[in-house]
Amino acid sequence: MTLVVQVRLPLRVRKHAPRGEAAQRGARQRSEPREPGWFQRKLKPEGVRERKVEKDRLLAMTDGVAAVIITIMVLELKAPEGSDWGSLHELWPVFFGYVLSFIYVAIYWNNHHHYFHLVERVNGAVLWANFHLLFWLSLIPFSTAWLGEHAFMPVPTALYGVSLFMPAFAWLLMQRVIIHSQGENSPLQAFLGRDFKGTISATLYAAGIALSFVAPWAGLICYAVVTSVWLIPDRRIEKMVAQD
């Protein structure tokens, strides 16, 4: 014998709005702009924000490499074995090379920070040009250590000059790449003009490398003069950014 149990569930009666009101509400919902979801925002970021992120990453990478270069150079400063002033005096070439190289790295970082105030858009060419600059800057600790160990010797002094000249060349190349990416109305080109500093620096580097084989101290003087040319950043960039 089979027992059949019937269960009656309460039915929910849905009240439908009149057709005219429902149609108006649907049309209003379709006309209202919808905020993009998280996935859409990830796929299609805003152009300005994307350019800012790329530029910030480039600047952060440059800051990190500059910090590592300075750290490597300061680790090359070894304490003297003796306990008198004579032992300390023997290390003055090492300290001199460290101070000069520290100033050079600081000048590149400072001017890099100022110049990129005029750069709004960063593309692949600019990124590689910046890495090219960082490559040559990363070799300065090596040439500085060799110069400190063999002070006023022709070949180490000349190689030190080459290690300073190549970042300068990479700097000029990066400027050309940025100007080309900015187009005809390049803010960086308007600021640089004829670039007197770049021209005089290249001349002093070449003279210093050549003089290193004759009088190494004269070559070091040429390298030191270049630092005096670039030591103070140009305030025109700050004024241009403030006006904008």
Residue pLDDT, tens place only, 180-232: 888 878 887 777 777 778 888 989 999 999 999 999 999 999 999 999 888 87
pLDDT value at position 53? 64
With respect to residue 221, please indicate whether it lies within any of the assigned structural domains.
yes
142, pLDDT greater than 60: yes
> End-to-end distance of the chain based on CA atoms, in angstroms?
93
Q: pLDDT (tens digit, 9 = 90+) per residue, 69-102?
A: 999 999 988 888 878 888 888 888 899 999 999 9
With respect to residue 84, please indicate whether it lies within any of the assigned structural domains.
no
Instruction: Give me the helices (H) in 138-235, please.
Output: 140-149, 154-182, 187-192, 196-212, 216-230
With respect to residue 122, please indicate whether it lies within any of the assigned structural domains.
yes
Of 170, 139, 132, 150, give the one whose Cα is nearest residue 73.
Answer: 139
Q: How many domains does the chain have?
A: 1
With respect to residue 37, please indicate whether it lies within any of the assigned structural domains.
no
37, pLDDT greater than 60: no
Secondary structure (3-state) at 140:
helix
CB proximity list for 149: less than 8 A, separation 6 or greater: 93, 94, 156
Q: How confident is the model at residue 159 (pLDDT cuts 50, 70, 90)?
A: very high
Among left, alpha and beta (phi > 0; psi -120 to 50; other), residue 63 is alpha
With respect to residue 7, please indicate whether it lies within any of the assigned structural domains.
no
With respect to residue 104, please indicate whether it lies within any of the assigned structural domains.
yes
Query: What is the percentage of the chain residues whose pLDDT exceeds 70?
Result: 73
pLDDT value at position 77? 86
More confident residue, 105 or 202: 105
* Residue 161, token pair as written in the block: 């000059």
With respect to residue 14, please indicate whether it lies within any of the assigned structural domains.
no
With respect to residue 4, please indicate whether it lies within any of the assigned structural domains.
no
Domain that holds residue 237: 51-77+91-243
